[in-house]
Amino acid sequence: MNLALSSTSARVFTLAALAFASGFAVTERPLEAAEKNVSTYSRFEYALESAANYANPVQEATLTVAFTSPSGEKFVIPAFWDGGKTWRVRFLPTKPGAWKFETTCSDASNRGLHQQTGSFNATPPSGKTAFAQHGPIQVAPDGRYLMHADGTPFFWLADTAWSGPLLSTTSEWAQYLKERGRQKFNAVQWSATQFRAAPQGDEKKQVAYTGQDKITINPAFFQRLDAKVDAMNEAGFLSVPVVLWAFKSAANPGETLSEQQAIILARYIVARWSGSAVAWFLGGDGDYRGEKAEKWKRIGRAVFNGIAHAPVTMHPGGMHWVWNEFVDEKWYDLVGYQSGHGDDDATSKWLTEGPSTVD
């Protein structure tokens, strides 16, 4: 797949190559955030206990946290339900110094979640990976390349692991990351929900959600994946989840869920890994051309507008180019296409003479 950088202005941008090769425990962190120190560019995590018992928390409440930097900038970050009465927010501070935060719950009567305040101190960056030293990635000011938070350029070279994080054991995932690191890859593209096949074992842990009209999130599924995401970042890889797989299949949420339920699932996934070094594929392997783009525009706006987020793009089907459909969307940061679907004359001509070459 190839990616280009996008903005709301109609400019032409340099392409960046992106290659396609077609029981875990969550670390508990102290609830007392006011005394906590974290390194700049490392995850700050804060847990809250709901005062209400919700039958289906993701359907009944939303929670956001506004972080204020030492210089007064504000970053609104979504929080997520993590089972029982526990809710969490994860955030990557990008400046050293004293940070403050305040929560806002859609259920204003919930005194455990609404209008909670706190602070923490971000110490200077530490660690050995590019993300620990230079920060998460973003689009450069001129819109022509990706860079870390401190301005260091980032060249995206990824492999598609797809179900790898879900299907692999801890040792298998460590071996995968070691080998890709040896080969100088620096990003992993993968599916954040069940995709095509499920691993053997405890089925309760293998399903991201149940239901259709009103989904129920399964925290155990995502708790297993937390360790895989952490392993990617700790090994120096950008984590690039497909939030809603969109290829036509009864198992794929981007195809089968209503827009409202797809938005709820996507918001949950984005909130869960907002404190990691990530980029987002909102939709995976779908057709977002023409009128079909309208659904995805609405989902993208509902999920990403109004919050601070890592770069977002779509993962289109083979020989699909969706620049014109999404270039004016505020939440949309990158444009790309699949370059590995076929080696016949038609594919070659599309790659060398098609719409991506014109734009």
User: CATH number, domain at 316?
Assistant: 3.20.20.80
The CATH number assigned to the domain holding 116 equals: 2.60.40.10
For the CA atoms of 91, 95, 100, 101, what is the dihedral angle to 10 degrees? -20
Q: Are 315 and 1 in contact (CB under 8 A)?
A: yes
Residues 212, 308, single domain; the answer is yes
Q: Is 290 inside any structural domain? A: yes
Q: For residue 300, is pLDDT > 80? A: yes
- Among 123, 149, 174, residue at a domain's last position: 123
Decide which of 103, 123, 143 is a domain's last residue. Answer: 123
Q: Is there a contact between 270 and 306 (Cβ–Cβ < 8 Å)?
A: no
Has residue 294 been placed in a domain?
yes
pTM of the model: 0.90
Tokens of 220: 């155990």
Q: pLDDT tens-digit profile of 224-239?
A: 999 999 999 999 999 9
pLDDT tens by residue, 122-179: 999 999 999 999 999 999 999 999 999 999 999 999 999 999 999 999 999 999 999 9
Is residue 30 domain-resident?
A: no
Q: Are residues 102 and 15 in the same domain?
A: no
- The verdict on residue 101 lying in a domain is yes
Higher pLDDT: 306 or 3? It is 306
Rg (CA), the chain: 20
Structural domain boundaries enclosing 351: 2-20+132-358
With pLDDT > 90 as the criterion, what percentage of the chain qualifies?
80
- 218 and 262 both lie in a single domain: yes
d(CA 274, CA 172): 25
Domain limit, last residue, from 94, 123, 152: 123
Same domain, 216 and 299: yes
Do the domain assignments include residue 191? yes
27 within domain boundaries = no
Rounded to whole angstroms, the Cα distance separating 257 from 265 reads 9
Q: Are residues 119 and 264 in the same domain?
A: no
Q: Please indicate, yes or no, whether residues 153 and 55 belong to a single structural domain of this protein.
A: no
Question: How far, in Å, CA of 89 to CA of 76, rounded?
Answer: 11
Is residue 316 within 8 Å of 344, Cβ to Cβ?
no
